[in-house]
Amino acid sequence: MMVTPWKDISPDKSPFVGMFSLAGLVGAASLVNFVVLSSATSSSNSGIFATSRMLYGLAKQHHAPAMFGKLSTHQIPTGGIFVGTALILSVSMILTTMESVMDAFELVGTVAAMIFIFIWSMILISYIAYCRRRPAAHQESEFKMPMSKVMPYVALGFFVFVTYTLFLNHDTRIALYVLPLWFMGLGLAYWFKTRKSPAHQRLMQAHHQKVLEEKISAKAFRSQSL
Domain ranges of the chain: 29-97, 99-197+208-226
- 170 Cβ neighbours under 8 A, 6+ residues apart: none
Round to whole Å and give the CA distance between 70 and 76: 8
pTM, full prediction? 0.73
Question: At residue 130, what is the residue type?
Answer: Y
Round to whole Å and give the CA distance between 22 and 9: 13
Number of Cβ atoms within 10 Å of the Cβ of 53: 15
Helix (H, G, I), strand (E, B) or coil at 63: coil
- Alpha carbon 106 to its chain's center: 16
- Quick: pLDDT tens for 103-147: 777 777 788 888 889 999 999 999 999 988 888 888 888 888 888
Identify whether the C-beta of residue 200 lies closer than 8 Å to the C-beta of residue 132: no
* pLDDT recorded at residue 124: 94
Average pLDDT for 191-210: 84
Phi and psi at residue 119, to the nearest 5°: -60, -50
DSSP state of 188: H
Round to whole Å and give the CA distance between 120 and 100: 31
Q: Which of 49-53, 112-116, 140-144, 174-178 has the highest mean pLDDT?
A: 49-53
